[in-house]
Structure 1
Amino acid sequence: MKKIISSLVATLAITTVTLNAADYYASVNGEKITKADVALVLQDPRIDFAKLPKSSQKQVLEQIINKKLLANLAIKNGIEKDPAYKDALSKMKKDLAFQVWQKNEITKHKPKESELTDFYNKNKSKFVVPATLEASHILVKTEKDAKSIIKQLNSAKDKSAKFVELAKSKSVGPTGVKGGYLGKFQSNQMVPEFSAAANKLKKNTYSKTPVKTQFGYHVIYLKDKIPGKSLSFNEVKGNITQMLVGNAYNKRVKELSDKLRKTAKIVIK
Structure 2
Amino acid sequence: MIRVDNVEIPEAAVAAEMQHHPAATRDGAWHAAAQSLVIRQLLLAEAARKGHDTEAEEAAVSALVTAEVQVPEADEATCRRWFEANRARLRSPEAWQARHILLAADPEDPAARAAAEAEATAMIAELRADPARFPALAARSACPSGQEGGDLGLIEPGTTVPEFEAALRALSPGALHPVPVATRYGLHVLQLLRHEPGRDLPFEAVRERIAAWLREASFRTAVRQYIQVLAGRARIEGFTLAAAEGPLVQ
How would you bin the TM-score normalised by the shorter chain?
0.5 to 0.7
SS at match of 1:206: coil
Question: In the alignment, does 2:86 pair up with 1:123?
Answer: yes
Unaligned runs of 5+ in 1: 1-88
Contact 1:191 1:213 in 2 (8 A): yes
Residue in 2 aligned with 1:102? 66
Q: 1:100 to 1:234 in 2, by over 3 A?
A: farther
Whole-angstrom distance in 2 between the partners of 1:118 and 1:127: 13
Q: 1:173 to 1:98 in 2, by over 3 A?
A: closer
Question: In the alignment, does 2:190 pair up with 1:220?
Answer: yes
Q: What letter corresponds to residue 78 of structure 2 in structure 1?
A: E
Q: What letter corresponds to residue 118 of structure 2 in structure 1?
A: K
Q: 1:98 to 1:209 in 2, by over 3 A?
A: closer
Whole-angstrom distance in 2 between the partners of 1:104 and 1:134: 50
Unaligned runs of 5+ in 2: 1-51, 104-112, 238-250
Deviations 1:101-143 (A, max 9, x none): 627844x413344432332233222111122212221122433
User: How far apart are residue 209 of structure 1 and its match?
Assistant: 2.3
Q: What letter corresponds to residue 168 of structure 1 in structure 2?
A: A
The two structures have a TM-score, normalised by structure 2, of 0.57
User: How far apart are residue 248 of structure 1 and its match?
Assistant: 1.1
Give the root-mean-square deviation of aligned CA atoms: 3.3
Whole-angstrom distance in 2 between the partners of 1:127 and 1:199: 22
Q: 1:168 to 1:96 in 2, by over 3 A?
A: same
- Higher RCO, 1 or 2 (CA under 8 Å, sep at least 6)? 2
Question: In the alignment, does 2:122 pair up with 1:148?
Answer: yes
Question: In the alignment, does 2:216 pair up with 1:242?
Answer: no
Residue 226 of structure 2 is aligned with which of 256, 260, 263? 256
Q: 1:166 to 1:245 in 2, by over 3 A?
A: same
Residue in 2 aligned with 1:166? 137
The two structures have a TM-score, normalised by structure 1, of 0.53
Deviations 1:146-195 (A, max 9, x none): 11001111222xx24x21211222x3345434432322221453223222
Deviations 1:219-262 (A, max 9, x none): 11223332321112232222111111111111111111232134
Q: 1:168 to 1:124 in 2, by over 3 A?
A: same
Contact 1:135 1:223 in 2 (8 A): yes
Q: What letter corresponds to residue 196 of structure 2 in structure 1?
A: I
Whole-angstrom distance in 1 between the partners of 2:62 and 2:186: 56
Residue 138 of structure 1 is aligned with which of 84, 97, 101? 101
SS at match of 1:129: coil
Contact 1:187 1:199 in 2 (8 A): no
Residue in 1 aligned with 2:48? none
User: How far apart are residue 91 of structure 1 and its match?
Assistant: 5.8
Contact 2:69 2:226 in 1 (8 A): no
Whole-angstrom distance in 2 between the partners of 1:104 and 1:204: 59
Give % identity.
26
Residue in 1 aligned with 2:167? 197
Task: Indicate the structure (1 or 2) with the bigger Cα radius of gyration.
Answer: 1
Residue in 1 aligned with 2:146? 176
